[in-house]
Chain A
Amino acid sequence: MTSNIGNGNDPSQAGHSGHDHAEHPGMAHDEEAGYYAVRARAMESLLVEKGICSPNEIQTMVDRIEARSPADGAKVVARAWSDPAYKSRLLNDPDGALADLGYRMPENSPKLDVVENTESIHYLVVCTLCSCYPRNLLGRPPDWYKSLAYRSRAVVDPRGVMREFGFQVPDSTEVRVLDSTADLRYLVLPRRPDGTEGMSEEQLAELITRDSMIGVSEARSPQTATAS
């Protein structure tokens, strides 16, 4: 497999023949100082030497990315469940509604659409091409979201995929799969579970899982939440 790869865009192969890592580029992440780990350090060093960015800037960004999590999305959904006016604003003007809660999307970030799951329509989000995902609200996508299996199967067998996640969509519910792009991302507004009347936004947020905001499952019921 390694001998004749090459369309000019295979950095792993360049200047590297006969080296172990060239044989197994996909395994390098588990090895200490694998090919790509070193390559990444080399790029970082050069960017720093050339004054393009500082190690500190990169570390600050690492921390910022790490700080994002599905708790952010859950806060937004909990507000939408609790306040119908906010919900309609979120569906019609996501950027404005998010800014209300202190989530300002960076200037160059792609458009975000918020879609609402109901009894009649269930949305499921995938990125068949790569891994587009509302990172600002959910953090990094889980590994399975980026997996070839999910990307392949979500568009042809969404019900089967959701069953794998333990979620059976009723036959009477229409399933719509949304394929994200570099220019448009989606956040699913899951259905509010029964038996949650009178719960505070903080309590509601506990029920709102990452997977329910991707659409592969639904929000937890208060019973499940107490049991776990």
Chain B
Amino acid sequence: MPQVHDRGGWPTDEPIDREEHVLSDWELRVDAMHNVLSYKGLRRTDEMRRAIESLSPETYEACSYYERWTAALEILLIEKGVVSKEELDLKHAELQG
């Protein structure tokens, strides 16, 4: 069985849904953050792919596209020591009020 992200040739008859969803502000900003960090040499495409591919199959399937990008960004920022998980959790709780 290939890994969850490796979709080529997976058996499915599912038609291709051509409906576009309008991106939320946070999705736009996650995309932009990836790009800004890339310009600053803090993130590379293959690192980002590896991070996404390390998500569990359940999370991978359940997440939307930019949710995966968010999860991957968190993995990379923590791995590189840019932020710690503790401060991120703290900030998260603070924002959630």
Give Cα A154 to B7, complex, Å. 10
> Per DSSP, are chain B's interface residues mostly helix, strand or loop, or mixed?
helix
Q: Which residues of B contact A (CB under 8 A)?
A: 5-12, 14-21, 24, 26-33, 35-40, 42, 44-46, 49, 51-56, 58-59, 61-67, 70-71, 73-75, 77, 82-83, 85, 87-89, 91-92, 94-96
Counting CB contacts under 8 A, is A176 at the interface?
Answer: no
Which of B15, B44, B74 is packed against the most chain A CB atoms within 10 Å?
B74
Query: B89: which A residues are within 8 A, CB to CB?
Result: 14-15
Docked-complex contact B7 and A128, CB < 8 angstroms: yes
Best-surrounded residue of A39, A53, A106, A183 (most CB of chain B within 10 A): A39
Whether a CB of chain B sits under 8 angstroms from the CB of A182 is yes
For chain A, residues 142 to 158, give those with C-beta under 8 angstroms from any C-beta of chain B.
142-144, 146-156
A33 neighbours in B (Cβ, 8 Å): 96
> Chain B: which residue is nearest A6 at the CB level?
B56
- B26/A25 in contact, CB under 8 A: no
| Docked-complex contact B36 and A57, CB < 8 angstroms | yes
CB distance from B92 to the nearest CB of A (A): 4
**Please, which residues of chain B bring their CB within 8 A of the CB of A1?**
58, 62
Interface residues in A, total, Cβ within 8 A: 70
User: Does A164 contact B15, Cβ atoms closer than 8 Å?
Assistant: yes
Tell me whether A44 is interfacial, beta carbon within 8 Å: yes
How far, in whole Å, are A183 and B94 apart by their CA atoms in the complex?
A: 39
Report if A29 contacts B (CB, 8 A). Answer: yes
Q: Which secondary structure dominates where chain A touches chain B? A: helix
Is B16 a contact partner of A164 (Cβ separation < 8 A)? yes
Tell me whether A143 and B19 are in contact in the complex, defined as CB-CB below 8 angstroms, given that A7-B56, A9-B54, A39-B74 are known contacts: yes
Which chain A residues border B30 with CB–CB below 8 Å? 40
Query: What distance in Å separates the Cβ of A21 from its nearest Cβ neighbour in chain B?
Result: 10
| Contact digits for A117-161, partner B, Cβ 8 Å, 1 yes 0 no | 000000000101111100000001011101111111111100001
Interface flag for A99 (CB, 8 Å):
no
B12 surroundings in chain A (CB, below 8 A): 148-149, 152-153
B67 and A25 form a contact (CB under 8 A): yes
Chain B residues, CB < 8 A from A171: none
Q: Among the listed B40, B67, B87, which residue makes an inter-chain contact with A28, where contact means beta carbons less than 8 Å apart? A: B67
